[in-house]
């Protein structure tokens, strides 16, 4: 009788805990306006969709979405969400130590550089072209310096790509290749954005093969036939073939992201459609 009760309890509790069925990550940049307006309500909505963990993109002046690191960690815990990663826009090296302390206080593992730091990134709003002002050697040196600070505090630094890193600079360097070949994996690794590498007409599988183990996390986001952002599984990117090489890539986490929505679709709706398609595509 005791044995039957034990089996029944295991089956009952495994079937009756919705949070146990959650998987995958959401990049909160997708719902940045909603997070700015009502972060607690938005975190609940993300958790209710079935996401298990999140990536943060809302740090400013020592706070995450207006909350102290301690309060933000509490807000995440209330919805059984785990913050794994955080995008940190850096203006000067003097603020890095404070950022690292804040990221650690939330319990975040990955400190992500989203664009060339220290004011070296540019975005032309007219042409929508992105790029960097510094040379790639300077960028590599900055990443190593920040990566060493992260490593000393038990964090891992990742650099996130857009499309311009796959182009050739004036010195004949393909920017992302130079970074991969001239930064040590003990201090610097990478977050592969699957939309932007496809936008640049580069092959993610070729990068996984050439630089195995360097792409610790992915941004999983899709592209429609017009080249616009669209929910995962609704566009033209072949996620199944990419996912089959996750071990070669070194991928530990992935985050669904959609920078913009179109045709009246709300960001939370885009995250919902993406989540519903993840399992079909093979993501866990």
The answer on pLDDT for 152 being more than 50 is yes
Write the pLDDT tens digit of every residue in 260-283: 999 999 999 999 999 999 999 999
What is the per-residue burial (b if ≥16 Cβ within 10 Å, else e) of 91-119?
Answer: eeeeebeebbebbbebebbbbbbbbbbee
Q: What percentage of the chain carries pLDDT values higher than 90? A: 92
Strand partners, 50: none
Residue 11 lies in a domain: no
pLDDT, mean of residues 71-89: 98
Burial grade of 71 (CB within 10 A; 0-12, 13-18, 19 or more): middle
Residue 1 lies in a domain: no
Write the pLDDT tens digit of every residue in 180-219: 999 999 999 999 999 999 999 999 999 999 999 999 999 9
- Tokens at 194, concatenated: 């699957």
Q: Residue 59 in contact with residue 88, Cβ under 8 Å?
A: yes
CATH of the domain at 183: 3.20.20.150
Residue 8 lies in a domain: no
Enter the pTM of the model.
0.92
The answer on pLDDT for 1 being more than 50 is no
pLDDT class of 240 with cuts at 50, 70, 90: very high
Strand partners, 121: 132
- Range(s) of the domain holding residue 187: 19-281
Residue 9 lies in a domain: no
Residue 14 lies in a domain: no
Residue 13 lies in a domain: no
Q: Write down the pLDDT at residue 8.
A: 34
Q: Residue 171 in contact with residue 135, Cβ under 8 Å?
A: yes
Residue 12 lies in a domain: no
Q: Write down the pLDDT at residue 21.
A: 86
Write the pLDDT tens digit of every residue in 22-51: 999 999 999 999 999 999 999 999 999 999
Q: Write down the pLDDT at residue 82.
A: 98
Q: Write down the pLDDT at residue 15.
A: 40
Write the pLDDT tens digit of every residue in 155-187: 999 999 999 999 999 999 999 999 999 999 999
> Residue 76: CB partners within 8 Å, gap ≥ 6?
43, 54, 82, 83, 106
Half-sphere exposure of 258 (CA within 13 A, CB side): 27
- For all residues of the chain together, what is the average pLDDT? 93
How many domains does the chain fold into? 1
Residue 3 lies in a domain: no
């Amino acid at each position: 009788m005791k044995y039957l009760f034990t089996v029944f309890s295991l089956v009952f509790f495994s079937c009756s805990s919705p949070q146990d069925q959650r998987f995958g990550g959401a990049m909160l940049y997708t719902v940045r306006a909603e997070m700015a307006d009502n972060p607690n309500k938005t975190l609940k909505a993300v958790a209710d969709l079935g996401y298990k963990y999140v990536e943060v993109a809302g740090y400013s002046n020592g706070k995450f979405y207006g909350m102290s690191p301690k309060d933000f960690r509490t807000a995440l815990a209330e919805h059984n969400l785990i913050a794994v990663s955080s995008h940190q826009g850096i203006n000067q090296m003097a603020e890095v130590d404070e950022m690292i302390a804040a990221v650690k206080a939330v319990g975040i593992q990955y400190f992500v550089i989203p664009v060339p730091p220290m004011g070296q990134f540019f975005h032309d709003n007219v042409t929508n072209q992105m790029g960097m002002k510094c040379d790639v050697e300077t960028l590599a040196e900055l990443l190593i310096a920040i990566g060493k600070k992260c490593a000393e505090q038990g964090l891992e630094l990742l650099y996130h790509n857009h499309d311009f890193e796959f182009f050739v600079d004036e010195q004949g360097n393909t920017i992302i290749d130079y970074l991969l070949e001239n930064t040590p994996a003990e201090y610097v690794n990478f977050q592969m954005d699957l939309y932007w590498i496809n936008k640049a007409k580069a092959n993610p599988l070729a990068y996984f093969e050439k630089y195995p183990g360097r792409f610790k996390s992915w941004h999983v986001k899709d592209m429609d036939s017009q080249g616009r952002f669209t929910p995962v599984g609704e566009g033209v990117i072949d996620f199944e073939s990419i996912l089959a090489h996750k071990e070669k890539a070194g991928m530990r986490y992935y985050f669904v992201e959609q920078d913009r929505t179109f045709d009246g679709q709300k960001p939370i709706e885009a995250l919902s459609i993406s989540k519903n398609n993840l399992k079909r595509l093979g993501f866990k």
